[in-house]
């Protein structure tokens, strides 16, 4: 459990450093940093997508989960649009910003950081491995989250620090479940959830670079559809 605490503390420390750097960096430089971060996010997400989809059989490269990806992302985006999740979140964000009376953009930094730190294979598999005696992946995630929190807070503000609470609760709960329940994750489950999660993160990276609005919140139901798809077609 100590490794989960260290992961959360790394985000707090990284945010503090990023906020300090933000005061020294011009606005145009901040935009450039955000685009660079977008490139890094895209590289990481594409790596995760390929890792989940590409399989090698007898020296031949093949792909899996194409239909799963089409179904879950399409249904997730449709559900998000019908439920107007993005609009509801933005309204909630505006209310919070007005209530705390600040221009620090707390909720945007919190949301972007939480999505980046929690959605992906490292959060799930790393926590699982740590609970079963191998914390190496969580140590790697801690370093990556530390660097990412510096970049995110330098561009999006102090709201990034609050994602550390979600990271601690999210990974902490998984740690306890995995610790007491033993080996319960199949490779298919990890691949399915990670694949859809990395596609969502890829869209976030595109937003960082282009400034064009892909409604990330509206894609989140795809994670639920991914679980349903797994239970229907892969769970024995």
Residue 186, pLDDT score: 75
Say if residues 38 and 206 touch (Cβ distance below 8 Å).
Answer: yes
Average pLDDT for the chain? 84
**pLDDT (tens digit per residue) in 59-76:** 788 888 999 999 999 999
CA distance 155 to 152: 5
How far, in Å, are 95, 126, 129, 160 from residue 174 at the CA level? Answer: 31, 10, 11, 22
Residues 182-218: pLDDT tens digits? 556 677 887 888 888 888 888 888 888 887 778 888 9
Separate counts of helices (H) and strands (E) for the chain: 10, 2
Angle between helices 27-53 and 121-131 (to 10 degrees): 70
pLDDT in tens, 130-149: 887 878 878 888 988 898 89
Domain residue ranges of the chain, discontinuous segments joined by +: 2-64+101-210
Give the Cα separation of 153 and 235 in Å (integer): 40
The answer to whether 175 touches 131, Cβ cutoff 8 Å, is: yes
Residues 6+ apart with CB under 8 A from 116: 41, 148, 152, 201, 204
User: Which of 50-64, 67-81, 88-102 has the lowest average pLDDT?
Assistant: 88-102
Q: pLDDT tier at 103 (50, 70, 90 boundaries)?
A: low
Is residue 93's pLDDT more than 90? Answer: no
Alpha-carbon span 170 to 14, nearest angstrom: 19
């Amino acid at each position: 459990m100590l490794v989960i605490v260290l992961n959360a503390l790394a985000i707090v420390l990284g945010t503090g450093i990023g906020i300090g750097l933000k005061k020294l960096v011009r606005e145009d430089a901040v935009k450039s940093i955000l685009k660079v971060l977008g490139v890094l996010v895209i590289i990481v997400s594409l790596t995760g997508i390929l890792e989940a989809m590409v399989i090698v059989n007898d020296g031949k490269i093949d792909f899996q989960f194409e239909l799963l990806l089409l179904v879950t992302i399409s249904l997730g985006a449709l559900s998000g649009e019908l439920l107007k999740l993005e609009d509801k979140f933005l309204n909630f964000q505006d209310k919070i910003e007005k209530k705390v009376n600040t221009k620090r953009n707390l909720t945007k930094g919190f949301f972007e950081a939480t999505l980046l730190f929690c959605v992906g294979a490292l959060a799930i598999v790393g926590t699982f491995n740590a609970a079963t005696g191998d914390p190496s992946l969580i140590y790697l995630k801690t370093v990556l989250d530390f660097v990412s929190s510096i970049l995110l807070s330098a561009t999006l503000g102090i709201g990034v620090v609050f994602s550390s609470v979600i990271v601690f609760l999210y990974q902490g709960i998984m740690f306890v479940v995995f610790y007491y329940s033993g080996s319960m994750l199949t490779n298919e489950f990890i691949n399915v959830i990670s694949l859809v999660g990395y596609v969502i993160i890829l869209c976030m990276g595109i937003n960082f670079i282009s400034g064009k609005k892909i409604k990330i919140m509206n894609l989140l139901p795809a994670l639920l559809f991914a679980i349903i798809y797994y239970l229907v077609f892969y769970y024995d």
